[in-house]
Amino acid sequence: MPIPTEPVGSLPRPTALQQAFAAYDAGKIERVEFEQAQDDACADSIRRMEATGAPIVSDGEQRASSFATYPLTDTLAGTGLAPNLAADGQYFAIFTDGHHRQLPRLTGGPFRYQTFAADYLKKSIRYATKPMKQAVIAPSMLALLYPLDGEVPGYSREQFLADLCDECEKDIRQAFAAGAKRVSIDFTEGRLACRNDPNNAWTGRGMLGHFIQLNNRVLDRFSAAERRNIGIHTCPGGDCDATHSADVDYAELLPSMFKMNAGYFLIQLASEPDKERVYAMIGRYLRKDANGVPQVAFIGVINPQNPRVETPEEVQADLLLAARHIPKEQLGSTDDCGFSPFSIDVKPKHGSPDLARDIAFEKIAARVQGTERAAAELGL
């Protein structure tokens, strides 16, 4: 496709899979039955995403506890928590509807992943006939496992960060080795870092610069050719049809975000009130040379938090407007966010996870069709 298009990562888990997560937590089913439910959902996700005409697909992260915690625990309730972690970590985010999501707390070293994204991809790729992408978590998110103040006895912050970068590099390299064509790094904490929420201690500490530097510590371990296929995803959160930082002006994030030496960026935009203003900012800060790689901006043209299905014509119009500000060769399309980044999500605005799942594939089809139309009109 002349204008590239790809998903962010997650899809709503079907009700049957969410029930399997709960049953596994409660000890009512064995691991083999739990993994079969995950496998069935992955196969269905790939089949239905390929049917939309999407040129690159994912398994919808159906096996992951969440986009952020998959390396650390099998379920959101903490079943299978990795060593040297406790369940009572700090909040990652507090959402607009009042609910929150919590990270584990580091209790000692060394820090190691329990599960790599490639472990899931190896099981799913056999179902795909099209190229697959894999989303991974950013080191900047997992840096929040370490206490904000003080040090873990016998395990300094810098040693933790060194181990963390090693694990994040392995996560990306193993995903490519398992067959991923593209790997995108989830960086939803970037926009949240620009907030000062008195109920969420880490957000008021000006951590964005530190996050950018930490992510570049990992990105800079890859060649320019490799980084062409390594992306960064930013959004204001998306969980239970709510967000955590949509009120943060992109002007506080974008100038710093494009300093990361990634080859492409997946940027929430469909739900922005003034899209053209943000398109202009992207055009201003997007780099033609990020240490040897031209950056590509995949603009969000689909809002996963809204059950209304966008039309191909709306997608086309967004891309044509964006092309006034972003060079055509640096333009792509995507969804604003994963459709359900956390494994337990009842999708309240949609009515049910199963209905939300059906809607997600309709939205993806609209993205693909609208992108094709925009490419044709732009003469690509």
Phi, psi of 330, deg, nearest 5: -115, 25
CB 131 within 8 A of CB 57: yes
b (16+ CB within 10 A) / e for 29-47:
beeeebeebbbebbbbbbe
Residue 77's CB: how many other CB atoms inside 10 A? 17
Query: Does any domain span residue 1?
Result: no
- Tens digits of residue pLDDT in 40-70: 999 999 999 999 999 999 999 999 999 999 9
Query: Does any domain span residue 200?
Result: yes
Please state, in angstroms and rounded to a whole number, the distance separating the CA atoms of residues 139 and 253. Answer: 17
Mean pLDDT for the stretch of residues 179-196? 96
Structural domain harbouring 223: 15-377
- Tens digits of residue pLDDT in 242-255: 999 999 999 999 99
Q: How many residues does the chain have?
A: 380
Does pTM top 0.95 for this prediction?
yes
Q: What is the pLDDT of residue 1?
A: 57
Instruction: Look up residue 229 and give its two tokens.
Output: 């296929």
Query: Does any domain span residue 298?
Result: yes
Query: Does any domain span residue 2?
Result: no
Say whether the peptide bond before residue 147 is cis (omega within 30 degrees of 0): no
Query: Does any domain span residue 357?
Result: yes
Percent of the chain scoring above 70 in pLDDT: 100
- Tens digits of residue pLDDT in 296-340: 999 999 999 999 999 999 999 999 999 999 999 999 999 999 999
Query: Does any domain span residue 205?
Result: yes
CATH code of residue 21:
3.20.20.210
Query: Does any domain span residue 227?
Result: yes
According to DSSP, the residues that pair with 297 across neighbouring strands are 265, 331
Q: What is the pLDDT of residue 18?
A: 97
DSSP-derived pairing of the beta strands 105-106 and 85-86? antiparallel
Cα-Cα-Cα-Cα torsion 5, 220, 92, 285, nearest 10 degrees, comes to: -60
Query: Does any domain span residue 6?
Result: no
Provide the domain count of the chain: 1
